[in-house]
Amino acid sequence: MKEMEELVAEVPVLSGLAQAHLDLIAGCAQNTRFDAGTYLFREGDPADRFYAVRQGAVALEIHVPAREAVVVETLHTGDLLGWSWLFPPFRWSFDARALEPVGAIAFDGACLRGKCETDPELGYALMQRIAQVIIERLQATRMRLLDVYGVEAAT
């Protein structure tokens, strides 16, 4: 079985981090699993952690009153899930539902925030990588705003 340090080093968004930083991050990490259909977290719950998906797929959903939930995005092997742990009020903005059995590394948000505050170099390196993920998701969302498959776009 792989050590947590090895698993953390395999998370794509963390690639290139110094070994000392990976070790620090691994100290806040643990393996976790979710059955298909279960929720990793629900909107409004305390956002005390985030995940790196190692296996499976997760749907990020928005609850819409009187309607079926809307899937905002799906996340898959290698993807990072959750950044609400970074900033107050530390509450999830979406539901996260396992579409199939999910294996993930769970990172303790408070533990990692504490280490980032005492080691700004780690904090900067981690923030750079998370910002990159946020930017990629923002760009994908902007592409969807174009509604390129809509009738207006086709005429």
Partner 1 sequence: MSAAVAARRDPLLPDRFRVTGRTRETADTWTLTLEPVDRDPLAFAPGQFNMVYAFGAGEVPISISGDPGRAGPLVHTVRAVGKATAAICDAQEGAMLGVRGPFGTDWPLAAAEGRDVVVVAGGVGLAPVRPIVYAVLAQPDRFGRALVLYGGRQPDQLLYSAELAAWREQGIDVDVTVDIATSSWTGKVGVVPQLIGRAALDPERAVAFVCGPEAMMRFSAEALLERGLRPEHVYVSMERNMKCAVGQCGHCQLGPEFVCRDGAVFSWPRIRHAFRIREI
**Which residues contribute to the site for partner 1 (CB under 8 A)?**
57, 59, 61, 67-74, 76, 78, 97, 99-100, 140, 143-144, 146-151, 153-155
Beta bridge partner(s), residue 105: 31, 52
Count of CB atoms within 10 A of residue 41's CB?
22
Nearer to partner 1, 42 or 76 (CB): 76
Sequence-ordered strand ranges (E) for 4-155: 29-34, 39-41, 49-55, 58-62, 70-75, 80-81, 95-98, 102-108
Specify the residue, 117 or 147, whose C-beta has the smaller distance to partner 1. Answer: 147
Residue from 58, 50, 61 nearest 11 by CA: 50
Residue (13 or 111) nearer to partner 1, CB: 13
**Residue 79 beta carbon to partner 1: minimum distance, rounded to whole angstroms:** 9
Structure tokens at 134: 């946020």
For the bound state, the minimum distance from the C-beta of residue 100 to partner 1, rounded and expressed in Å, comes to 8
Directed axis angle between helix 19-26 and helix 120-145, to 10°?
Answer: 80
Residue closer to partner 1 by CB (options 18, 62) is 62
Q: Which is nearer to partner 1, 2 or 76 (CB)?
A: 76
CB-based contacts of 123, cutoff 8 Å, min separation 6: 115, 116, 117
